[in-house]
Structure formats: structure tokens, C-alpha cells
Chain A
Amino acid sequence: MKEFLLLFRRDVTPEETQPSPEQMQAMMKPWQDWMGSIAAQNKLASSGNRLGSEGKVVKPKNIVTNGPYVEMKEAIGGYILVKAETLDEAAELAKNCPILNDGGNVEIRMVVAM
């Protein structure tokens, strides 16, 4: 079995407000059902993490900039690791990812051991 990184990207608009706990729970359900489904197939390697909206970029010569900003196109929102034999099999798992119903996409990359 190989491991693959599933990277979630989505456009974020600045006017989006912080969801209420109820909204949050309703948002989590499809994600939990999707990850539960992958885990039930024994193909989840790590339930990964969501990423905060603030970030900084460090560049050469001590230059630190804020961003990338959340209103950026296709901001990375989180990731999980799955187990699969091939890239196609990993892509198959990604087809049911809830981010696809929200205008986002999933990037799949094989993890190469160092």
C-alpha cells in the first residue's frame, strides 16, 4: 500500500463570516461521513488537519510577508492522508469529497518516503 496526500483547495470570499456552532456541525457531517467511509475501507492513513486562514510566507533575505490571503483563489484549507495501491484508486476515494459540492477541488499527490 502506498500513501497519498489529499489536499483540499477552495475559493474563499472575504465576506464569509464565522459559522455558528450549529452551522459548523452541519458542515462537519458530510466530512465525517466521507472520512468515516474511507476509514471503514481501512484506507485512511491519517485524518490530517484543517488549516487556519491566516498565514505568512518567509522569503530569502529576511523578508516575511503576510498571506497567502484567504480571499485568494484556491486557498489550501486542509489535508488528509489515504492508503491506496495506485494514484487512480486514491483519486477514486477523492470523488466523494464534500469540498467538490462547495466549488473546491482535491489535489492528490503520492507521498514519497525520504
Chain B
Amino acid sequence: MENQQLLIPHLFRTEYRKIISVLCKLFGFEHIEIAEDIVSDTFLSASETWGLKGIPQNPTAWLYSVAKNKALNNLHRKKVYDDKVTSELKSSSSEFTLTEIDLSNRNIIDSQLQMMFAICNPVIPPEAQIGLSLRILCGFGINEIADAFLTNKETINKRLFRAKEKLREEKIKIEMPRHSEISLRLETVLSTLYLLFSEGYYSTHQNSVIRKDLCLEAIRLTYLLIENVATDKPVVNALLSLMCFHASRFDARTNELGEIILYNEQNTDLWNKELITKGAYFLNQSAKGNILTRYHLEAAIGYWHTHKDDTAEKWENILQLYNQLLQIEYSQIAALNRTYALYKANGVEVAIMEALKLNLNTNHFYYTLLGELHINIDCHIANQYFERALLLAKSETDKNVIKKKISALNVTTKIKKEV
């Protein structure tokens, strides 16, 4: 009994997304709710039947065969309805033919890839793409998605409902794009996967288990693209490489309380060597071809961050990569990180001059950086910047980081006075 209680959530996690992709592909976006109902029903039957009769020899096969039967029954009913009712309304005969429902590994992977391209479509907004991806490609429950976005069930339900309607209206098909279109369509898929990863990596969510899950799912989906010949492009390898490098610091960047530990204060023994090795492997793979994307640059920045020693070479390389990244695409965080690299590579005076030009007056990281740069120059000014950062910071974790900096500053000031 206890076994079953652990087994069903586990199977839900691993099998839901496989069955749902195959069935969604079968039913299309027009009847996606039917597919979702069938899979939910299947798991409900499992918990009822297994509770009474015990766990079957091969639980996965059991789920597949029950899901298949339910789907076939439904298609059969639909066909009868279409033939008897709709045909009288002059409609053509049913579009469904009662074929075998293919839950082979190959078809599961193909369906998931096709689904990924169907969901990551610019006709629906990025947050809806991420939401649907979590639901259909990752098998997250509505509650889990709401948790991940720090919002409630209703909001997520509405968001997913509207997204599905839009996909129906636009008659989006669940299929692989034509070969000539893959690179273009891949851009949206990759930016959604990047956002999914960032949601996990940078969100202020206290629950690090949820955050890590999001990152791992993004890695899994990106890897799915790499395993497929048609989508195994250098840019995908670059994205996976940067995810691996970032994720390698996952355990080092928060303490037991879920508070962020800044890069220069991390225990480097906690950096995950396996992920660093994988990141380097995919970075090499990404170097084929002649297109340099922001993912390539961010992966290379990630690579240099895995070097533990604070060498001039390291920070000069990071600085040049940020220079290039900003020329491709501006972001506040890249501008701030560039200024930090400039400080490490070219010294604090240049960095302060450059920082003052950024004018990011509503960004608390901006004032934290300015405070940081002034610590050894003028404690009083540093303190003023930190105080301003504290006023702008919204999350408790961010506030705590700043408060620690302020109290550290006060300690050093006292020591200096006593000396």
C-alpha cells in the first residue's frame, strides 16, 4: 500500500507527459481536453484498481494499455457519433480512423518534439508557452505551475485555457516544421526553454526544490532536441551548455534558508563537476558552424565562471564576452555584469565611471553594485548606495543580501576607527 502511494506520483511524473503527448497528437488541439481527461482518468483508475488488486507486474505497460483502451473507446464513440449524427448534417465522414495507438518509445519522443514546436508558437505569449510546456511536456499539475509562477490556480487555468483556444483558432498543427523552417521555428522553442530555465534559476521563489525542478525540466527538453538529428544544431548545444554551467552552481548558490549566496562567496567544492564536464562537452559541440548567438556567448561566460581562481585572464575574457553579448542584445543584468567584470579586469575607478553612466535608477542590483564598488573607497557613500538598494528591493531574499552587506560595512568601519 505504501509502495503504491509512492509509485503513482512517480509514474505520474515520468509517464503522464509521454502518454499525453501521444494522445494530444492523436486528438489535435481541437480535442486536447479529451486527451487530458483520458490521461487523468487512467491515473485515477490506476490508484483505484491497484489499491484493490495490488500493483500489476509492469505498471507502465498497464497504464499504457488502459490509456489506449480509453482513447480507442472515445474515438469509437466519436466515430459512431460522427457517422450517425454529423453525416446527416452533410459533414464528411469522420476524420478519425481507428488505428493502433502507438506508445512506442520512438513515437513518444517524436510526439513530444512535435508538441514542443506546436506549443512554442509566437501566437501565444511566452508565459503561456511556458505554462503549457510545463503542463503537457513536463507533466506538472496546475498547482505546481501556479507555485512556480508565484500565482494561484485560477490564473494558471485561465492562462492555459486561453492559450489552448488560441492554438485552436490559429489551427496550429502538432507536427514537425518543414526542414527549411526548423532554424527559424527553433528560435521560439529555444527562447521558451531559456525562459523556463531562468524562471527556475533566477526566480525569487523560496522553495529551491521547485526551482531546481524547473531547471532540470528545461535541461531535459533541450536534450530532447539534441537527441534528434534534425534539431541537433550548434545553437541548441550552446543553450544546453549554458544551462549545464549555471546548474552546476545550483547547490552552492543558496544556503539552508534558501537565501542566495553570491558567486564570489560560494563554496566551490559544491559546484557540480559532472555538469561542468557536460557543459564543456556541449560548448565544444556548439562551436560548429559559423553562427554566433547570445547562447554561445552566455555559455562561454558560464565556462569562465567555472574557473575557481580569480585570474586577470578570466575576468578579461568575461568582460570581452559581455561586450559582445551587449552588442547583440541589451539587458540590464548583462550591463551590470559587464560592469562587475570591468571592475575585476580593469580596476575600480574605471568601473565606477562606467557604472554611473548606466542610470538604472529603479534597479536595486544597480545600487548594490555601486555600493560594492565603493566599499574600499568611501564607506559612507557605499552605505548610501546599499540603503537605496534596500528601498528598491522587493523580495525578502534580496533584502537580506543587502542587509548583510550593510552590517558587514558597519563592522569594517568600526574596525578602521579603532585602528
Contacts and interface: CB of A to CB of B under 8 A. Distances in A.
Contacts of B357: 37, 40-41
A32 B321 CA distance: 10
A40 B337 CA distance: 10
Interface centre among A36, A39, A41, A44 (most CB of B within 10 A): A36
B359 to A, nearest CB: 7
Interface string B281-320: 0000000000000000000000000000000000000011
Contacts of A107: none
A41 B359 CA distance: 8
A40 B319 CA distance: 12
Interface stretch (B146-154, B324-332, B382-390, B398-406): B324-332
A1 to B, nearest CB: 13
B338 interface: yes
Contacts of B272: none
A40 B339 contact: yes
A18 to B, nearest CB: 23
The binding surface of chain B is classed by DSSP as helix
Contacts of A44: 326-327, 330
B57 to A, nearest CB: 61
Contacts, number: 45
A32 B335 contact: no
A29 interface: yes
B80 interface: no
Which size class do B's interface residues fall under? 10 to 19
Interface residues of A, number: 12
A32 B324 contact: yes
Nearest to A29: B320
B324 A40 contact: no
Interface string A22-59: 00000001001101110111101001000000000000
B29 interface: no
B358 interface: yes
A92 B132 CA distance: 47
B354 interface: yes
Contacts of A37: 354, 357
B323 A39 contact: yes
Interface of B: 319-320, 322-324, 326-327, 330, 334-335, 338-339, 342, 346, 354, 357-359
13 contacts: A32-B324, A33-B323, A33-B342, A33-B346, A36-B320, A36-B322, A36-B338, A39-B323, A39-B330, A40-B326, A41-B358, A44-B327, A47-B327
